[in-house]
Amino acid sequence: MIGGARQPREDGPPPVPPSHQGCAIRSVRLQLPAHRGELRDRHEDGHHLHHLVWRLGPGVRVCSSAVLGGGIGPRAWIINAQVPGGYPRLDPDRHLAEIAASEGLTGPGAGLMTAADVAAYTTGHDGGVTATVTTGLGVRGWAAAPDVDCLPHRPGTVNIVLTLPAALSDAALVNAVATATEAKVQALLDAGLDCSGTPTDAVCVAAPEPGPDGGEPFAGPRSTWGARIARAVHTAVLAGARPARDLS
Lowest-confidence segment of 85-94, 115-124, 158-167 by average pLDDT? 85-94
Q: Which residues are CB-neighbours of 30 under 8 A, at least 6 positions away?
A: 9, 38, 39, 40, 41
Whole-number Cα distances in Å, 149 to 137, 145, 146, 225: 20, 12, 10, 39
Using CA atoms, how far apart are residues 229 and 204, in angstroms rounded to an integer?
12
pTM of the full predicted structure? Answer: 0.83
Amino acid making up residue 191: A
Cα end-to-end distance, the chain, whole Å: 26
4/145: higher pLDDT: 145
Helices (H), the chain: 92-102, 170-190, 224-247
User: Residue 245 has what pLDDT?
Assistant: 60
User: Which residues share a beta bridge with 49?
Assistant: 42
242/60: higher pLDDT: 60
**At 93, is the secondary structure helix, strand, or coil?**
helix
Instruction: List, for residues 6-32, the tens digit of each pLDDT value.
Output: 444 334 444 433 333 345 544 444 333
Given a cut of 90, is residue 220 above it in pLDDT?
yes
% of residues, the chain, pLDDT over 70: 80
